[in-house]
Structure 1
Amino acid sequence: MTAIIHTGGCLCGDIRFEATGPADNPHNCSCKFCQRHTGALTAAWVEFSRDNVRWVGPGGAPATYRSSEISSRAFCPTCGSSLGAIDDAPTIALLVGTFDQIDSPELIPDHHSFEDGKPDWA
């Protein structure tokens, strides 16, 4: 069985990735960290083992900002696009909107974290 390779990247194309399955924990999140990182009320995420993510664009690995005791947020230093979170655990969580093909069944969120962080009108 051939592993699925998911590709994606930032707005300007400087930061590109290849993520090889299995994808894990596809979910939406409405915590304040995700809201501030993305500028959206809800972010869609999917996780991969760090060993299964390669940064293949001309810009190499994304820039990071230490956002908590366990994680750093990843972004393109050229265009500022949010890409995901690089956790201290061997996990990289990528924002689903950064993938080239967002319709893969592996990327469909199956639960919502911090749903109480959404405003009532959303």
Structure 2
Amino acid sequence: MTTDLHQGGCLCGQVRFEVQGPLENPHTCSCEFCQRHSGALTVTWVEVPRERLRWTGPAGAPATYRSSDYSSRAFCAHCGSSLGAIDDEPTIALLVGSLDHKDSPALMPTYESFEDGRPAWWHAGTRHD
């Protein structure tokens, strides 16, 4: 993956972050938790060790909602933007959409979790009428 500084944040800019070093394990997920957290049918994630992420915006760390027995969903308490998931293990998963720069080929997902959670009409291709 890439090894430089990665920055991102919420829609209003109150919650910002920096990650030094590689963004790891790029993947998509279509589970019900991700769908409800984001409002999207599929989301794209990257993971980072907690010690490499620093919250830099005026609001500090994001608000969280305990979504399972091992993880909390992170969001901005001011604008409501979904930012990621903070696991009990030393891992933070960030939504790729919250990154300032999303063009790196290193962000291309390498696998999909819970693809059976997508509706039958959802497909990766473009619709042609």
TM-score norm. by structure 1 comes to: 0.96
The alpha-carbon deviation at position 105 of structure 1 amounts to: 2.4
The alpha-carbon deviation at position 107 of structure 1 amounts to: 1.6
Separation (CA, whole Å) in 1 of partners of 2:105 and 2:121:
28
Separation (CA, whole Å) in 1 of partners of 2:3 and 2:117:
35
* Corresponding position of 2:61: 61
The alpha-carbon deviation at position 24 of structure 1 amounts to: 1.3
Paired amino acid for 1:112: E
Identical amino acids, percent of aligned pairs: 68
Unaligned stretches of 5+ in structure 1?
none
Give the 3-state SS of the residue equivalent to 1:54 in structure 2.
Answer: strand
The alpha-carbon deviation at position 98 of structure 1 amounts to: 0.4
* Corresponding position of 1:23: 23
Paired amino acid for 1:66: R
4+ runs deviating over 3 angstroms: none
Give the 3-state SS of the residue equivalent to 2:64 in structure 1.
Answer: strand
Moved more, 58-67 or 20-29: 20-29
The alpha-carbon deviation at position 21 of structure 1 amounts to: 2.1
Paired amino acid for 1:103: D
The alpha-carbon deviation at position 68 of structure 1 amounts to: 0.2
TM-score norm. by structure 2 comes to: 0.91
2:118 equivalent to 1:118: yes
Greater Cα radius of gyration, structure 1 or 2: 2
Unaligned stretches of 5+ in structure 2?
123-129
Aligned residues: 121
